[in-house]
Structure 1
Amino acid sequence: MDVLSDAIAAMRAGRPHSGRRDKYAPWGMRIEDSEGAGFHVVLRGSAWLIPAVGEPVALGPGDVVFLAHGRGYALASGLDVEPEVVRMNPDGSPPPEPPSPARESTAAPDTVMLCGAYWLDRSRAHPLLSELPEVVHLPARVGTHRSLRAAVELLGAELAEPQPGSDTIVSSLLDTLLLYILRAWWQGQAHTGGHPTGWAAALADPAVAAALQAIHAAPDRPWTVEELGAHGGLSRAAFSRRFTALVGRPPLTYLTWWRMTTAGRLLREDDLPLRLVAQRTGYTSEFAFAKAFKREYGVAPGQYRRKAS
């Protein structure tokens, strides 16, 4: 898997949820703090996004917003509208739309949105997602983010007219849409004309990106700094300096962190014997793996698995 896909897989928990929302002005809804991340796509009309931190954002047709950090926010037809609190179900799914007198009439909704939510395990948040801004706003512009727009259109069609197999299709499209949103954001950061920083710079740097890809493709391999630097055509010292500056930690420190993150996911989602979990994360003995895991998580692997089940 590539780095972006891995980062999502490491944090995702449960099934994503989505729905189409037909809103009649005046309307407003407040999403409270949660462990989830949400997106909204305006298909028709307009809306105001009011984040927990920062200025309100005006949204128009085709605009996409993604809120990664689980902090509360509001959406409304106007800044003067008092939003009603929307309490998510325990599995992260939204409640049904409340009844609206306007909905009983023949009038078309003022705003139509696609809304989605992803439940995340934030205990091992990948820095690639942690450094995202409070609001990722992708305005609609002709000729941009074509793959993202195609995924939105497909998702909207499935939600508007469910067919046999729609449950699986919608779940897959939600995963695809999330990757397209993040890809569009990171690519935008790398091509703004300035100097990208953080993970936008790391993914745009050929040497660092090649090393990250190697680590994520084979976390069980006994990598050395020299071998990782060779993937990008750099000497050991030059590579180590560049990797540390862009990723925020030295190469082998990141390797250990990713191995432990991978181990945690395997223990949560799979029933592999600890011996195989150790092998898949680069440890030659179950004892060495258990010692490293407890140092990272504060509990033994078996105890961690029991708590997660």
Structure 2
Amino acid sequence: MDVVSDAIAAVRVGRPSCERLGAAGRWGVRIPGYAGAGFHVVLSGSCWLLAEGGEPLRLERGDAVLLPHGTGHALSDGVLTHRRVRSLPELEALLARPRTDTGGEGAVELLCGKYRLGQGPGHPLMRELPTVVHLPTGGGSHPELASAVALLGAELAAELPGGRLAVPALIDLLLVYLVRAWTGRPGAGGWGAALADPVVAAALAAVHADPARAWSAEALAARAGVSRATLNRRFTALAGRPPMAYLTWWRLTRAAALLRRGTDPLAAVAGEVGYGSAYALSHAFVREFGTTPGRYRATAATAAATAS
């Protein structure tokens, strides 16, 4: 496993959804905020996106947009407003307001979809994503993302045999490419910089490949090819916490994900994430999340049943 895959897997729940939509002339739609992440891809034409609390953003053919925190937003044929919008009622009022300008942006075709995200602990890589991740794919930029968009659009248009499996898989692939492209952009800070640093990346890869292993600070430093002091300094600066503290946090985050999704006994979950007993995991879990693993699993099950 790798950090980007694990960061997404830690919060992804349920099946993603996607629609291929077309509009022309004067049009606008408001999408309320939701517990998940949304995306839009412009297959043809152009339009405008306005996220709550943001500025109008023009989207051209080939542009992909990810709203990783489920922020309420609007799509329209023209600029909805040049002032900042701070609430969903304001967005709704703007869309209901009579339009006095003339002409239209012409026809536009979009892929619109969303991912369900769990409410449990997530990776800081996902939390640090901005409200809107805008990635143009025209002009040869982000070729993997452009290929995924083309395949997804074709599947939705043709409704071929096997599409019920192909479409969700391609939507998941789209999310991976969107997050990868953002973290891997030139000059990226935060977790993009952490993944680009060979020393920090080596230690992260070791932890994510085998979180249950009895890692020590010396063993991680040896895997990264540096001294313990060097690893501690660089890892803390880029990942936000020392390597051994990150290991503990990731083990508990993995345990939370396993509790949300399965019914394995607590002892089995403990062994999978590197704790010697159910008691040891429970003690650490309460210290980190303020609740017992059993209560956490029950709350997550109730939330999933309500959402379905």
TM-score range, shorter chain: 0.7 to 0.9
Matching residue of 1:148: 145
The question of 1:298 aligning with 2:290 is answered yes
The one-letter code of the counterpart of 2:144 is S
The answer to whether the Cα contact below 8 Å between 1:28 and 1:84 also exists between their aligned partners in 2 is no
Taking the TM superposition and a 5 Å limit, the aligned residue runs for 1:55-204 are: 55-80=55-80, 110-188=107-185, 191-192=186-187, 196-204=188-196
Residue 142 of structure 1 and its aligned partner are, at CA, apart by 1.9
Residue 293 of structure 1 and its aligned partner are, at CA, apart by 1.2
> Alignment partner of 2:58: what SS?
strand
- So what's the TM-score if we normalise by structure 1? 0.87
1:174 and 1:262 map into 2 onto residues whose CA distance is: 23
The question of 1:262 aligning with 2:254 is answered yes
The answer to whether the Cα contact below 8 Å between 1:202 and 1:246 also exists between their aligned partners in 2 is yes
Matching residue of 2:50: 50
The answer to whether the Cα contact below 8 Å between 1:293 and 1:300 also exists between their aligned partners in 2 is yes
Taking the TM superposition and a 5 Å limit, the aligned residue runs for 1:2-21 are: 2-21=2-21
Residue 54 of structure 1 and its aligned partner are, at CA, apart by 2.7
> Alignment partner of 1:149: what SS?
helix
> Alignment partner of 1:14: what SS?
strand
Unpaired stretches in structure 2, ≥5 consecutive residues: 82-89, 94-105, 302-308
**Once superposed, what is the RMSD of the aligned Cα atoms?**
1.7
Post-superposition, which runs of at least 4 consecutive aligned residues in structure 1 deviate over 6 A?
Answer: none
Q: How many residues align?
A: 281
Check 1:213–1:27 CA distance in 2 against 1; reply closer, same or farther (3 A cut): same
Unpaired stretches in structure 1, ≥5 consecutive residues: 86-108
The one-letter code of the counterpart of 2:171 is L
Residue 135 of structure 1 and its aligned partner are, at CA, apart by 1.1
2:270 and 2:141 map into 1 onto residues whose CA distance is: 44
The answer to whether the Cα contact below 8 Å between 1:243 and 1:249 also exists between their aligned partners in 2 is yes
> Alignment partner of 1:124: what SS?
coil
The answer to whether the Cα contact below 8 Å between 1:36 and 1:68 also exists between their aligned partners in 2 is yes
The one-letter code of the counterpart of 2:53 is V
Residue 122 of structure 1 and its aligned partner are, at CA, apart by 3.7
> Alignment partner of 1:112: what SS?
strand
- So what's the TM-score if we normalise by structure 2? 0.87
The question of 1:279 aligning with 2:262 is answered no
- Per-residue CA distance 1:175-197 (angstroms, 9 max, x = gap): 11100111111121xx24xxx32
The answer to whether the Cα contact below 8 Å between 1:29 and 1:83 also exists between their aligned partners in 2 is no
Matching residue of 1:96: none
